[in-house]
Amino acid sequence: MTAAMRLGAWYRGLLRQKGALAEALLSRCLIVVSTVCGDAYKTNRHKDGSTWVSAAQAGDILGIRSERVVEAVRDGAMIGAQGRSGTGHLHTIVRMQDIEEVHELRARSGTKEKVRSILGVSRKQFQLMEEARFFGAGCRMSAHPCVDGDYDLENICAAVDEIRQVAHGESAGADGLVAFRKVNLRRTTDRTGILKIYRLIADQKLRAVTFPEGDGLGDALFDAAEIDRVLQDHGGARLWTAGDVAEFSGWKPECVTGWCEKGLLQATRGKRGSFNVWQITQEGLSRFRREFQVVSDLAKEGKTTSRKLLASLADRGISSVGSQPVGTSSRGHLIRTGDITRMIAFPTT
């Protein structure tokens, strides 16, 4: 017979009550229950002097479901005890000191999505960073049932700060600067080259030009020419077709072809197998990226549409080039970088 059955309806009613008075009365009742009925809680003091709390209390402290605490005890990830109480329920109790340790772990741990948000990089780029072992073993922690994620945010932020501290602050070359978030497979098709760059940055052998305090790693700026030299030295692709450029840049193949035909993207005619193709050098693509901004890319970064952006630029007297008609619409619009620079330097009132 359970305690609830033995003590009667008034006790069962007390178990349903909330508030300080009900909790105080229940606490006194549980002492009686532990003595008379063999309650698993007994008191919140263990024979070793440790303070013990219920799984429900532990869940409230950690901000998680109590079932996760029960799972941790069952799996041996957390010291605890389980038993049937006089009320007929299976109760789990855990040491308060272990809950405090888990609370600290939760404060410094993060999921993959949390880390990406802090760094300011895309999902695909983060996958490449992991492949390159950008962060050392100390940036991962053992999985725990009560902890969300196994990335050590404290050590990851410390590693990023080390990269920030060695930024040399010198002026960039003629090719300008490129943000870390754009050093990806849209810049080159050579995966090995990208992984090499990431390792050099992680080892602080390839330093940022500027990396201000408060910016995420994705905003760190590197010398574009230095990045391209590393790609070339480590087997980076030096000659692409319009289809290759479209694949790693995300641009439409017909747009890339149109830019080549108009002479906006420097390219030469050649053959790949039996097919006539446009051949684009890395230097030609770098020049194109310096001279033009693709409207669809700008719209995506500004979280707007190409149509709205074009209308806004037209109001400022800036027109696009390089577009091709598609039915009743058009695509492949480019804006000269110099026009954007002048717009920023001399904004209209």
User: In this predicted model, what pLDDT tens digit does every residue of 151-178 receive, in sequence order?
Assistant: 999 999 999 999 999 998 766 554 578 8
pLDDT for 59 beyond 60: yes
Q: Provide the β-strand partners of residue 140.
A: 151
pLDDT in tens, 84-118: 655 556 678 888 888 899 999 999 999 999 999 99
Q: Provide the β-strand partners of residue 94.
A: 53, 80
Nearest of 309, 330, 205, 321 to residue 263 by alpha carbon: 321
Higher pLDDT: 210 or 5? It is 210
pLDDT in tens, 122-158: 999 999 999 999 998 889 988 888 998 899 999 999 9
pTM over 0.85: no
Q: Provide the β-strand partners of residue 116.
A: none
The order of strands in the sheet holding 80-84 is: 52-54, 90-95, 80-84
Nearest of 204, 187, 177, 179 to residue 290 by alpha carbon: 177
Residues 6+ apart with CB under 8 A from 283: none
pLDDT in tens, 175-214: 578 899 988 877 776 788 889 999 999 999 999 999 999 9
Q: Provide the β-strand partners of residue 334.
A: 294, 321
